Each structure stands twice: as C-alpha cells, then as structure tokens.
Amino acid sequence: KQEVTQIPAALSVPEGENLVLNCSFTDSAIYNLQWFRQDPGKGLTSLLLIQSSQREQTSGRLNASLDKSSGRSTLYIAASQPGDSATYLCAVSGNFNKFYFGSGTKLNVKP
C-alpha cells in the first residue's frame, strides 16, 4: 500500500522567509502528485498538480517539484506571508485518481 510521509509535521517561520515542505512516497508508480492547502474547519484547496511525466509546476510564489524515481516532492514557498498559515497536504494518486494523503505540515507564518 502506498505510504505518504510529510516532514516536518509543523513549521513556524517569520514573515518573508522562503521555506520548503517535504513529501515522500513509497510506491513510485503514481499518476500524479497534488499539493493542497487546508484551513481550520475548511475543505482542501488545490495548489499545484504535477503529472507523473512532469518535474515541476509553478503558481505565483509556489513551486512544486517531483522526483518520481526517488519518491520525493517538495513545495517551495517564496516570501512567506501570514496568510500562508495553514496545513499543507501532499497527495499522490494511483489508479482511478484516488489519492493517498500525507498527514500534513502545519505552517505558521509570524508577522
């Protein structure tokens, strides 16, 4: 069964810092990898989707990379802002696009 691990579990940084969130998965036979943001009491918001044939995706201050062979992905957030505070979830999809999620990294950006 696919296992997804996210490190660190929690992260607190001052505003303006660049930061990296890590995700690893055990089975490299994935269709895609997606990073989500979850705010307290809310659903998930998709941030970036990387197809298995791609190596990275960028959206604004966010950049996600994928190294399928080593089972790793990183989410890079540039110039962090207090509004970035949330839990970030990494998910990989297998057959039929069902996702296997990590437990998330809880990010706190201090003003």
Summarize as ranges the residues that interact with another protein (CB under 8 A): 4, 31-32, 34, 36, 42-46, 49, 51-52, 89, 91, 93, 95-104
Shortest spacing between CB 105 and another protein, in angstroms = 11
Asked if 77 and 65 touch (Cβ cutoff 8 Å), the reply is no
Kindly tell me which of 18 and 108 has the beta carbon lying closer to another protein: 108
CB nearer to another protein: pick between 58 and 103: 103
- Residue 5: half-sphere exposure toward Cβ, Cα within 13 Å: 8
Rama region for 60: left / alpha / beta (φ>0; ψ in -120 to 50; rest): left
**Rounded to the nearest whole angstrom, what is the least distance from the CB of residue 48 to another protein in the complex?**
10
Single-letter amino acid, residue 4: V
Nearest to 90 by CA among 77, 103, 81: 103
Nearest residue (CB) to another protein, 18 versus 74: 74
Min. distance of Cβ 82 from another protein in angstroms?
Answer: 22
- Cα-flanking dihedrals φ and ψ of residue 10, to 5°? -145, 150
CB 90 → another protein: shortest distance, Å?
8
